[in-house]
Amino acid sequence: MRCEAAKRRISDALDGALGAGRSDRLERHLRGCPACRAYRQGLTRIQAGAAGLADPGLAPADWADFGRRLEGRLARETAKHAPPGLPALWKWAWTGAGLAVLVFALVYLAVLRPRTVAWPVPLSFEDSVAQIMGEIGGNQDLAGAFDREIVASITEAARPESEEAPVPFGDNPLFWEGLTDGEIGYINAELEKELGHGGLT
């Protein structure tokens, strides 16, 4: 084994990273190499001097203070990335509801609002006549036209009922043309019974 390889193994051995087989070979080399033995002795002393090498020497109160500050920063970090809490949700809900009401009101007023129509107040018969007579006033033409309308309406109402009576179906030649011989025979027999003579001739 060369001295450079032995020095690498001395370092590994100090770190507890040398297997048993390699350790045996190293020991054989060291028995015959005073320079490497001196090197190992120096490293062993350095290793002893490295104990507590990076001890910061802080008191328990310093560690407690470090921990408190860290917990404060962790809490702030958590709050920064936390989802909004209930109060914030309520605030957003109320804001959203207010906006929705406002939008609905604007749409209602602009588009959906029903148009109001000023329907005339219905008048009684006497009031109607009084209003007409007031409008006619001294106008003879209007008075004459009104009289004619009145007379026409009375005439219409008094027309005899016979003028509007329907034509008896027996007078309609189309009725007789649509009957079969059996139907004509039946009608004839009924008329004979009712009228007491030869029926249809």
Partner 1 sequence: MDERPDDVLVEEARRGAVEAFSELARRHQQRVYRLIYGMTRNHSDADDLSQEVFLTAFRSISGFNGRSAFYTWLYRIAVNQTLNFLKKRGREKDRAGFHENLPYGDQGRAAAYSPEGNSILGELQVRVAEAVAALPAHFRASFLLVADQGLSHAEAARALGCSENTVSWRMHKARKLLQARLKLYLNEVGP
Q: Work out whether 14 is an interface residue with partner 1 (CB under 8 A).
A: yes
From residue 60, alpha-carbon distances to 52, 56, 57, 63, 73 in Å are 17, 12, 10, 5, 20
Q: Among the candidate windows 23-31, 58-66, 96-104, 156-164, which touches partner 1 by CB under 8 A?
A: 58-66
Q: How many CB atoms lie within 10 A of CB 40?
A: 20
188 near partner 1, rule: CB under 8 A: no
Interatomic CA distance for residues 135 and 142, integer angstroms: 9
Q: Report, in Å, the least distance between residue 29 CB and partner 1.
A: 15
Q: Is 170 in the site for partner 1 (CB under 8 A)?
A: no
Min dist. Cβ of residue 87 to partner 1 (A): 21
Positions 63 through 82 that interact with partner 1 (CB under 8 A): 63, 66-67, 69-71, 73-75, 77-78
148 and 156 in contact (C-beta within 8 Å)? no
Give the residue from 174, 166, 180, 170 showing the smallest Cα distance to 200.
170
139 counts as binding partner 1 under rule CB under 8 A: no
Question: Where in 16-55 is the site for partner 1 (CB under 8 A)?
Answer: 16-17, 39, 41-43, 45-55
**What is the crossing angle of helices 20-31 and 34-49, to 10°?**
120
Burial class (CB in 10 A: 0-12, 13-18, 19+), 136: middle
Residues 109-128 that bind partner 1 (CB under 8 A): none
Q: Does 174 bind partner 1 (CB under 8 A)?
A: no
Distance CA 149, CA 196 (A): 51
In the complex, the residues that contact partner 1 under the rule CB under 8 A are 7-8, 11-12, 14-17, 39, 41-43, 45-56, 58, 63, 66-67, 69-71, 73-75, 77-78
